[in-house]
Structure 1
């Protein structure tokens, strides 16, 4: 090279990598909080500084292993500090590393433009460092916060992680190629050329990763929307099928009841009375037992109650169904169908049948419509965002039932809340009273 080009000070690199991690940690759900997080992160910065100082004079052959260890340290900091999966931590570590490379390269390029070949004042140098690092990472945080889900879950899979790793490696390799050799079509020979190449490649890499992240976010949102729409449609289809089935059952119920009356008018025998009594008790299971004042709610409750009876679950309801008359049929099916399905699914896991209890309430409270679902609950309720932590093997599809309830409720300006009181799980829905 014709120009002498000092590389980025290693303490600057360590600081950039640490700040990049902090940016992503700040928009995620934390594991340690408050002073614990501050103490841990501050201590980790000292470790990163120490690591960079100790590896300063290693031969060029150790350059790649050194960078891999640095990325591993970033992964450790993000994973320990945030409530995310290993795949999500790996994905964010690569993005944080590329962001750190970009900011550090940009700051060093600006520094060399103004102070190359001249002895700079330490105060000016630190001011430039603080200004560029502070402004750059603040901008990155503002960009990232808009595209990170509120619950902090990215649902990254192996394919998306490895795609990010490949992009990150390509960006790092090309941006630093000139520091290894100038004899390639992608290398520069002069100091300013090398700085330009590194900064522009890092900027392009960060932009590609950011665009890929937005695309993944779009896929996730579309998948979630499709899943919720399927749940809405399935609940409505279940309602239609249940309505037809219950109508047929009720017709059969009245037919059998008339037959029993006719049989009783004939000569009685003890065995016949016993048989008729047994028939009468059995067909009571198929009578629509809920009369709330809303035929849609009655149908949903009746169909779910038949399933509960078959599975030794006690379903009770105290509801003024007339308060739901302003709510669309599909939304009633969505709210009550999904809430009861979730409660029934949990109660089936309870071994003691006398504890399999579900209660539904619909009533007015201070000018609001209150819908409350309660079911017997063992253990401690843990929330992931505002949703209960799933016990299902495939957590990728977790929470769509509750999300569909929330979407339906929000149409009427309502809110959804989950809570635990002693051994009862509560799902409460509050909607401004409908006129």
Structure 2
């Protein structure tokens, strides 16, 4: 479309030429938006970059073509010009693909904000205007009076623009990575703080449980039926909280599961678990609480959106197989789940500042040389965490381990 557009309009005045160049950018924008799975801001960001790189490639190609024309004797064959174009564009685009590859976001979306897009568009516009001003307004002192000087100035301006845009992109990606790491670290610390609070709460539950024997003495002595029923209801509530406790063989997992189970009981969510907590001895408390806290928070958030309480189901399993620790979180879901690069895409409006819960799970798994895989089928979401167990001599296949703890509420 671009080639046809400019081949059919070889001679344009300045105003029409600017309009046609604007149309070329819009065509690139629409092409990227329609062919790639990105939002309109990301497509515009890539289109601006592509346009300036194309301008620079065209400037360099024309410089080499001038060398052929000025050669003695002049080389003006169509084949030589095509060969120069293919080699020049091929080399430059390969170089740009290589340098941008290392700073491309791992996620599908670059998550460009409106402010970032405006800044980037301003840089692109300034580069385009300065590189072509010598053609639009001939005779400017900064460009000289000769066409060669104008071409040289254009090439240098385009090169500077490409360097500025690359620097801007690298700085943006570095800031994003630092922000994500800070966010993950904050989540890790928050989960561990919640674990310590939950541990204190469970101690209070244990105290209440031991106090029940005193309540029974009072209950036997109470002759008022209404008060006796009130005591019985209170005892039922205390016993329910105590029954919510899990005994997996790992105190951190016990605390996190217990608090999440109590929350699930209050919100009509059924959670079952089969966990061998002894397999987590090589992991520190903060990492364990982060994995179970964030994964269960993600599952619970999904279940609370389901209207029918009978369908609010969560399963947790942790066992070892061939010296690997396998942790599986499964929960029922309704609607659709959009999976990005291994993890589900957040459905919250401000996607740039959400979705770090499961990223922190991935961060912990990678810390121990493991990996995280997310999948969805038949309305069940599966989050699988695979972590190698360091000391293989102490690892046993826990598929048939009698120490596994199972609870259902």
Structures share fold, TM-score greater than 0.5: yes
C-alpha distance after superposition, 1:292-312 (max 9, x if no partner): 010010000111111111111
Correspondent of 2:101 among 125, 134, 145 = 145
Q: Distance in 1 between matches of 2:226 and 2:14?
A: 98
Aligned residue in 1 for 2:308 = 352
Q: Does the 8 Å contact 1:55/1:66 carry over to 2? A: no
Shift of 1:273: 5.6
C-alpha distance after superposition, 1:39-91 (max 9, x if no partner): xxxxxxxx222111122223222111111000000101111111111111111
Correspondent of 1:309 among 254, 260, 265 = 265
Aligned residue in 1 for 2:123 = 167
Q: Distance in 1 between matches of 2:222 and 2:202?
A: 33
**Within 5 A, what are the aligned runs for 1:250-329?**
250-255=206-211, 257-266=212-221, 274-287=229-242, 288-329=244-285
Q: Does the 8 Å contact 1:381/1:420 carry over to 2? A: yes
* Residue 372 of structure 1 pairs with residue 297 of structure 2: no
> What SS class does the counterpart of residue 329 from structure 2 fall into?
strand
* Residue 335 of structure 1 pairs with residue 291 of structure 2: yes
C-alpha distance after superposition, 1:374-415 (max 9, x if no partner): 111123432122221222111112321111001101121111
Aligned residue in 1 for 2:48 = 94
Which shows bigger deviation, 394-403 or 260-269? Answer: 260-269
Aligned residue in 2 for 1:408 = 364
Correspondent of 2:58 among 104, 108, 114 = 104
> What SS class does the counterpart of residue 110 from structure 1 fall into?
helix
Q: Does the 8 Å contact 1:232/1:404 carry over to 2? A: yes
Q: Distance in 2 between matches of 1:273 and 1:320?
A: 41
Q: Distance in 2 between matches of 1:195 and 1:183?
A: 13
Which shows bigger deviation, 350-359 or 284-293? Answer: 284-293
Shift of 1:144: 1.1
Aligned residue in 1 for 2:342 = 386
* Residue 215 of structure 1 pairs with residue 171 of structure 2: yes
Shift of 1:276: 4.2
Q: Distance in 2 between matches of 1:138 and 1:389?
A: 31
Q: Does the 8 Å contact 1:147/1:217 carry over to 2? A: yes
Q: Does the 8 Å contact 1:311/1:348 carry over to 2? A: yes
**Within 5 A, what are the aligned runs for 1:44-123?**
47-116=1-70, 118-123=74-79
* Residue 237 of structure 1 pairs with residue 208 of structure 2: no
Q: Does the 8 Å contact 1:174/1:186 carry over to 2? A: no
Correspondent of 2:111 among 155, 159, 166 = 155
Shift of 1:161: 0.8
Correspondent of 2:135 among 169, 176, 179 = 179
For structure 2, the residue ranges without an aligned partner over 5 or more in a row are 392-409
Aligned residue in 2 for 1:127 = 83
Q: Distance in 1 between matches of 2:233 and 2:118?
A: 65
C-alpha distance after superposition, 1:127-167 (max 9, x if no partner): 11111111111111111111111223211111111111111
For structure 1, the residue ranges without an aligned partner over 5 or more in a row are 1-46
The verdict on how the C-alpha distance between 1:368 and 1:119 changes in structure 2, with shifts beyond 3 A counting, is: closer
> What SS class does the counterpart of residue 372 from structure 1 fall into?
strand
> What SS class does the counterpart of residue 384 from structure 1 fall into?
coil
Let me know the Cα RMSD of the aligned residues. Answer: 1.7
Q: Distance in 2 between matches of 1:407 and 1:302?
A: 24
Aligned residue in 2 for 1:5 = none
> What SS class does the counterpart of residue 328 from structure 2 fall into?
strand
C-alpha distance after superposition, 1:182-220 (max 9, x if no partner): 333422211221111000000000000000000111111
> What SS class does the counterpart of residue 425 from structure 1 fall into?
strand
Shift of 1:264: 4.9
* Residue 225 of structure 1 pairs with residue 181 of structure 2: yes
Q: Does the 8 Å contact 1:181/1:187 carry over to 2? A: no
The verdict on how the C-alpha distance between 1:176 and 1:271 changes in structure 2, with shifts beyond 3 A counting, is: closer
Q: Distance in 1 between matches of 2:36 and 2:113?
A: 18
Q: Does the 8 Å contact 1:334/1:404 carry over to 2? A: yes
The verdict on how the C-alpha distance between 1:191 and 1:183 changes in structure 2, with shifts beyond 3 A counting, is: closer
TM-score (norm 2): 0.91
Q: Distance in 2 between matches of 1:220 and 1:115?
A: 47
Q: Distance in 2 between matches of 1:186 and 1:102?
A: 19
Which shows bigger deviation, 68-77 or 180-189? Answer: 180-189
Q: Does the 8 Å contact 2:269/2:303 carry over to 1? A: yes
